[in-house]
Structure 1
């Protein structure tokens, strides 16, 4: 009969244990350490003492073994159906327990009860926690402190023999101590785990915690002590923690094991008899069963999971908190500026570009309002692209395929469709409700005169800057200063209302007034264009200049640049050839040689030269313009007939140095002032570097290079009485109040004396007479002075002389000069003499200019001069 120190009354186990509610206390088993006092303690039970049932302590009926099939804790492993055929247990059998060697004197509190005394589990107040087991119970976990673990032959005759463990394998413990876990671990480490000894009925028992689960089903909930007698029967074997350990039983000191072969216990052994039980016949050993790994059902600790979760959450939240502190605390200004940079945008407010007008205020280049049409292709539905492309092409005058290709670029958010769109056209286009279409307010440059002075005026590029001519030279003055507007926009670029805006008003550009006379420019451009076409020349240039102030009244080139279609013109048309193209002047340069000789007093207009048709100069023989017999010529006659040989003879009288200085004084080799765009300085080598023949050719205009503007300035100096004025192209500008501010006058330089200038003028007037080479330049009713020029043309592309340069330059009226006109044709095919090709252009342009300026004829006749020797 089993007695337990559970919740009911009964003897407690362990020394000094207190009963529960008036009964002996039942100690709760813990892994190690002293027993815990029971509830409301009763009488304790001494170690190893026999206590029989009495009236005060009546025996309790044995607990009925639960049906394994109905036991909810009977796990589906380790159970053997053979256990149902085991012999019934004697209810009066003594309970199994653990006992230390030494019997009742063992301080560990492991004792064996009497025959009829139920085994209890408990802890004494001053002793170690003990666990009682019967003599016939095989030793479970742990071992005694002072006794070796023994196994008799009778205990397991058929099983494998195991080596007894001596005292050296266990740790001696004093009273009140439990066996250490190290000793227990060593004991368990030497025992086979999960294996049932052969030859015992315990091999048929369920493994693990199955038997314990069946007992626990009948036990009150809580941590009640678990004795061996609380299991389904003594035959079930010891209950092990987490697994079933089947090893040889340990015999208590002085007590014989009373188990019978086959796992059955005799009544005498259960009653505690001293004699050995009868032994049955040996049965053959059963084959060993393969070990099965124990199935350990472990429930996770909620506290551990909660702690781990809290630690993880704390770590994550700390990262967020740190990032939040960094963003809102440490780097708040950085992110604030970044956000403002994404939201705030600076928009340029374009300034209105100033106009370019002629000397009378007629517009040559103006700025008007325009629209820049763009679209967001990503917002145009694919099904509507064809219709949208047709609408845009119709209004903008573009190719429909080109517009469709731009609409197909859906990966971009911006596609420029057209610039410089008229506001009326843009307004009409926006009314068609084309999706994602926008029109930006801009300005566009218009050139009302088309190609009139196109290369001189220049043009404006797509970015609003000048790219040639006056547009580039005076870009800063014309462009003004753009304004700025800082606004806040949303994601789609829409302005956010009610937000702070800063605006800097633009400063419009100033108007530039040129010295160009629109009418004279038109006449000059028409005349040179017609002559270039007629002569088959590569290009032509005409310059009209006012003698009194060197204002350029016309600067025409043929072919000329059409400013309204400048994108389609070749790059060569962008250059203002009148100021940038250099050429060898030829005979028009003879006036400088004459001025140097007259100024030096080496010759005068009536000096007679014996002129052959050729002259040797160093290693070369230079010939006259046309072959003739040697003849006597006055210097005036030589100039009128443009004799090269006579000019060389006059130059030799003054020397190369004096000639070079005169060329420099007239502006050769230096860029003309006055702000003419793209002006070049020509080429004038130092006289010390002249070759033997070059000292002769420079005298009649070969071996030096000038521009048309430089040569026109030379004749302006002669016509102005020997005073050179820098050519002027800008008459003035208008300020912010539309007040005209005239440009400063050009720099004046005295080059030759007035007497020398007048003598040269009379010589040039003879050149336009019937005896001169420029007869075709004569204007009826006006006295005209001028000089023809025919020079070999140096072709820079070919690297050699190829073709001719035909030119004519003069002024009128000759006795009171007002205008200078120069005409040049480069590489003409139909003739090459200046008097033949360039003189007619001079006459046409000068005639128109005189009428346009209302210059009356002087009414005086040319004075009689000595043209030939002997007259």
Structure 2
């Protein structure tokens, strides 16, 4: 007989197996829901939690009177999830996005076509009104994020000095970079729980750290005088066919930089399209051989050493041998009896070399260094260079002579303006200042500390040089085109051979003029420099008119009256 298996046995075996499997499941559930509850709760919360950055508002940069030169306004960052945009409507959506965001339809379509991605950034720095309009237009899977954008209301005004901000919100040049930590503040954070669609889950917990907004920076720049300086130098660069130009206006008593203009200048609202060379603040960073404007330092060294007086008479030929070189005056002339004052007024290279030989290279080098040559000027001007002052022991035979009239050393426009501030300030050099003050974390304005003061030459020497510089703007001087009717003006022309680093040789000229007014009660220093002009090259011809234009505007803007005094009667010529 056929014996069938016992069904009871099979059922018992099945029940035992099921009981074993269920016991495993039960144990796992007990572990998950009983023993490891906190672990899994934390893991689930972490999966839902998103950390959102809350951007801080960047501080403003203003001129000395509080006019905004760089300001931050609210904006939106617009993004989309291409995977949720149906293929049938992509072209229509691309057209809407392109029109509203100022982008090409093709660019938007390309982003929407990336339907395997969940996030595509469409545009930064979008006006909040535009972002709201897009959200109301029913564009699917569109998201916006609150950000800020940087605006420059004055366009190219002091552009390379102010600098600009990149897409990540950090300063990339000028004051924006130099004061980035202060201006940027500190971003906040918000921790929220979100669902699969990225929206915050209502009634869930959130943690928020508030952002700390940036602090404001107030510059010493005067907006109106800066505008006048930029206009004047840009026009002269155009007329002369120069490669570039610079103007600096400095307050004599504080060494605050009132204007720092370059031509061409950087338009901050379109900095991405500008050549990289325009990012450099040439007034502080470009070095050049100063030429005859440097003669005041030779004069200061000779007067301080009592080797000469303004009335010392030299028999001056139009050339002088120095080692293997023959150095010449700008214009040929017979041997002429010249007072030192006349030699300065007429910018005689030969007479200047004769005076320098009275004191020697070491004393001249010491005086150049005391005036700031070879050292960065400090004071917070971004990118300020030190120039080049070789050790006098390494000067070549001809360099022992040429340094006396500004060839063989290199300076920046800022350094040379500082030299004349020192002379105008009675021989006291003040570290140039570009920051007038900042706001603290409570928004209270805090003035910047005054610049370091250093006595360079005696007040007597400074006054004697000022008198000689006033003669240089007189009827017998090379700076007649710098004269301002009704005001006493002191200044000096400069015309130097220009070293071209790219060519590796001297090519073209540097034309300059620097001076101060009123000559007897100095308030402002103005320096103008033109690099590689094509239509003319003398400083008295090209740079002096810029000085006159800018100084005239500045003294009117600051309501500086004429002193009413007459220039002193001085001995200009030998035999007088």
Match 1:832 to one of 534, 537, 540: 537
Distance in 1 (alpha carbons) for counterparts of 2:111 and 2:191: 30
DSSP 3-state at the match of 1:401? helix
Aligned to 1:341: 46
2:493 is equivalent to residue 493 of structure 1: no
How far has the Cα of 1:538 moved from its partner?
0.9
Match 1:522 to one of 213, 227, 231: 227
DSSP 3-state at the match of 1:398? coil
Aligned to 1:650: 355
DSSP 3-state at the match of 2:562? coil
2:162 is equivalent to residue 457 of structure 1: yes
Match 1:583 to one of 288, 301, 320: 288
More helix as a share of residues: 2
Alignment of 1:603-642 (within 5 A): 603-642=308-347
Distance in 2 (alpha carbons) for counterparts of 1:719 and 1:589: 15
Distance in 1 (alpha carbons) for counterparts of 2:334 and 2:150: 62
2:497 is equivalent to residue 792 of structure 1: yes
Distance in 2 (alpha carbons) for counterparts of 1:659 and 1:308: 111
Match 1:370 to one of 75, 89, 103: 75
2:91 is equivalent to residue 386 of structure 1: yes
Aligned to 2:412: 707
Alignment of 1:350-365 (within 5 A): 350-365=55-70
Measured against aligned partners, the alpha-carbon deviations of 1:51-107 in whole angstroms (never above 9, x if no partner) come to xxxxxxxxxxxxxxxxxxxxxxxxxxxxxxxxxxxxxxxxxxxxxxxxxxxxxxxxx
Distance in 2 (alpha carbons) for counterparts of 1:318 and 1:687: 95
Measured against aligned partners, the alpha-carbon deviations of 1:332-351 in whole angstroms (never above 9, x if no partner) come to 76655443332222212111
Measured against aligned partners, the alpha-carbon deviations of 1:667-706 in whole angstroms (never above 9, x if no partner) come to 1111112111111111111112212111111111111111
How far has the Cα of 1:315 moved from its partner?
8.5
DSSP 3-state at the match of 1:542? strand
Distance in 2 (alpha carbons) for counterparts of 1:476 and 1:599: 45
Alignment of 1:121-160 (within 5 A): none
Aligned to 2:140: 435
DSSP 3-state at the match of 2:57? coil
Aligned to 1:752: 457
Distance in 2 (alpha carbons) for counterparts of 1:326 and 1:628: 107
How far has the Cα of 1:731 moved from its partner?
0.8
Distance in 1 (alpha carbons) for counterparts of 2:567 and 2:38: 88
Query: Unaligned 5+ residue runs, structure 2?
Result: none
Measured against aligned partners, the alpha-carbon deviations of 1:216-268 in whole angstroms (never above 9, x if no partner) come to 5xxxx88xxxxxxxxxxxxxxxxxxxxxxxxxxxxxxxxxxxxxxxxxxxxxx
Distance in 2 (alpha carbons) for counterparts of 1:317 and 1:357: 74
Distance in 1 (alpha carbons) for counterparts of 2:290 and 2:9: 107
Aligned to 1:738: 443
Aligned to 1:287: none
Alignment of 1:193-212 (within 5 A): none
Measured against aligned partners, the alpha-carbon deviations of 1:399-439 in whole angstroms (never above 9, x if no partner) come to 11111111111122111212111112222222111111112
TM-score (norm 2): 0.95
Aligned to 1:20: none
How far has the Cα of 1:714 moved from its partner?
0.4
Alignment of 1:170-319 (within 5 A): none
Structure 2 CA distance for partners of 1:646 and 1:380, relative to 1, 3 Å: same
Structure 2 CA distance for partners of 1:336 and 1:864, relative to 1, 3 Å: same
Distance in 2 (alpha carbons) for counterparts of 1:583 and 1:657: 22
Structure 2 CA distance for partners of 1:866 and 1:492, relative to 1, 3 Å: same
Which segment is superposed worse, 847-856 or 643-652? 643-652
Distance in 1 (alpha carbons) for counterparts of 2:114 and 2:332: 74
Alignment of 1:660-739 (within 5 A): 660-739=365-444
Structure 2 CA distance for partners of 1:312 and 1:744, relative to 1, 3 Å: same
Structure 2 CA distance for partners of 1:747 and 1:329, relative to 1, 3 Å: farther
More strand as a share of residues: 2
DSSP 3-state at the match of 1:449? coil
Match 2:525 to one of 808, 815, 820: 820
Distance in 1 (alpha carbons) for counterparts of 2:241 and 2:179: 35
Aligned to 2:104: 399
Structure 2 CA distance for partners of 1:321 and 1:665, relative to 1, 3 Å: farther
How far has the Cα of 1:615 moved from its partner?
1.5
2:237 is equivalent to residue 545 of structure 1: no
Aligned to 1:573: 278
Match 1:422 to one of 127, 152, 165: 127
Please list every run of at least 4 consecutive aligned residues from structure 1 whose deviation after the TM superposition is greater than 3 angstroms: 299-340
Aligned to 1:200: none
Which structure: larger Rg? 1
DSSP 3-state at the match of 1:601? coil
Distance in 1 (alpha carbons) for counterparts of 2:14 and 2:327: 111
DSSP 3-state at the match of 2:44? helix
Cα RMSD (Å): 2.2
Aligned to 2:487: 782
Distance in 1 (alpha carbons) for counterparts of 2:31 and 2:364: 83
Distance in 1 (alpha carbons) for counterparts of 2:382 and 2:442: 27
Distance in 1 (alpha carbons) for counterparts of 2:405 and 2:416: 14
User: Which structure has more RCO (C-alpha within 8 Å, separation ≥ 6)?
Assistant: 2
Measured against aligned partners, the alpha-carbon deviations of 1:2-44 in whole angstroms (never above 9, x if no partner) come to xxxxxxxxxxxxxxxxxxxxxxxxxxxxxxxxxxxxxxxxxxx
Query: Unaligned 5+ residue runs, structure 1?
Result: 1-215, 223-298
Which segment is superposed worse, 448-457 or 341-350? 341-350
DSSP 3-state at the match of 1:583? coil
Aligned to 1:77: none
DSSP 3-state at the match of 1:587? helix
How far has the Cα of 1:870 moved from its partner?
1.5
Structure 2 CA distance for partners of 1:793 and 1:319, relative to 1, 3 Å: farther
Distance in 1 (alpha carbons) for counterparts of 2:346 and 2:43: 81
Distance in 2 (alpha carbons) for counterparts of 1:547 and 1:509: 32
How far has the Cα of 1:822 moved from its partner?
0.4
DSSP 3-state at the match of 2:386? coil
Alignment of 1:405-416 (within 5 A): 405-416=110-121
Measured against aligned partners, the alpha-carbon deviations of 1:603-622 in whole angstroms (never above 9, x if no partner) come to 11111112122222122222
How far has the Cα of 1:738 moved from its partner?
3.4
Distance in 1 (alpha carbons) for counterparts of 2:487 and 2:305: 31
Structure 2 CA distance for partners of 1:394 and 1:866, relative to 1, 3 Å: same
TM-score (norm 1): 0.64
Match 1:853 to one of 547, 554, 558: 558
Measured against aligned partners, the alpha-carbon deviations of 1:88-128 in whole angstroms (never above 9, x if no partner) come to xxxxxxxxxxxxxxxxxxxxxxxxxxxxxxxxxxxxxxxxx
Aligned length: 576
Aligned to 2:149: 444
